[in-house]
Structure 1
Amino acid sequence: MAAEPPVIVFDAMCVLCSANAQFVLRHDKAGVFRLASMQGEAGQALYRRFGIDPADPDTMIVVRDGMALRDSDAVLAIWGGLGWPWRAATALGFVPKRLRDAVYRLVARNRYRLFGKRESCWLPSAEQRSRVLR
């Protein structure tokens, strides 16, 4: 039985988060990741499954092998899954997790103020739709 592909749950209203989702779709040549917005049913269900309030999330997650990676661990998992040259960024894993997560949470808390908020959710192109869960 084949393993389920990892799923990135992200905020499709956030300009930074949706830009990251588009980046993943563009650079994930092997099709490793699926995406789910926290505004959609699949994303909300995954957030609830891992104890995160979808109406007030404090992190994006990467769900892999039945577990949720949060904060900077989720970012490192994404970079690692994209292959070269993006995988090189996983070298930041040497930075202590407490420090990585503190920086992640600072940006996450201020994401709308720093990067903006969309009027409506980002929607994938027709060719990307098969990789985005609803």
Structure 2
Amino acid sequence: MPDIPDIETDLIVFDGECVLCSGFFQFMLRHDRGQRFSFATAQSPLGQLLYSRLNLPTDEYETNLVIIDGKVHQRLDAFAAAMRVLPGAWPVLSLCRFLPELVKNPLYRAIAGNRYALFGRYKTCLVPDPALRSRFASDGF
């Protein structure tokens, strides 16, 4: 496991310019009623550090990161991990983690590789308002 900084809360790191990724963030914000997760954009200093330490590109974000209890999840497993801890019926979506790697990874890469063409891209990274800012991990961790 790569050396990643200690994060005190569970964390979701997402591409703040990607409409699909930002939609995932908005979904999690709405359904994470217990406020279990903090958030960071991949473009933030914390996001850049995590991607770098995980040997992931720091200019094209091929995956969101979901960190739960110190364990880093990537690609479709990140989505599954996030769904697994939500209340209500959402955990059923975490069953996608049982798809064979032969199916799961190409499916994820096909969507992730075309996400800007399919869903769009914001010209600037998300800037949270003061109320939302409290849910974002600080760059000092």
- TM-score, length-normalised on structure 2? 0.84
Structure 1 residues 46-61: aligned runs within 5 Å: 46-61=50-65
Q: How far does residue 87 in structure 1 lie from its aligned partner after superposition?
A: 1.2
Give distance in 2, aligned partners of 1:33 and 1:47.
18
1:67-101 Cα distance to aligned partner (Å, 9 max, x none): 32111110101111222121121122332233122
2:124 counterpart residue number: 120
| Counterpart for residue 6 of structure 1 | 10
Q: What letter corresponds to residue 116 of structure 1 in structure 2?
A: G
RMSD of equivalent CA atoms:
1.7
Residues 10 and 70 of structure 2 are in contact (CA less than 8 Å); yes or no, is this contact kept in structure 1?
no
CA distance in 2: counterparts of 1:92 and 1:33, whole angstroms? 21
1:25–1:128 Cα contact (<8 Å) kept: no
Q: Which amino acid aligns with 2:17?
A: M
Are residue 29 (structure 1) and residue 27 (structure 2) matched?
no
d(CA) in 2 for partners of 1:25, 1:19: 10
SS in 2 for 1:12: coil
Tell me if 1:81 matches 2:85: yes
TM-score (norm 1): 0.88
Structure 1 stretches of 5 or more lacking a match?
none
The DSSP-based 3-state class of the residue aligned with 2:134 is helix
Aligned mates of 1:15, 1:94 — CA distance in 2: 27
Q: Give CA deviations for 1:85-129 in whole Å, capped at 9, x if unaligned.
A: 211211223322331221111110001000001011122333221
Kept in 2, the 8 Å contact 1:10–1:38? The answer is yes
Match status 1:97 vs 2:101: yes
Task: Classify the secondary structure of the residue corresponding to 1:13.
Answer: coil
Identity %: 37
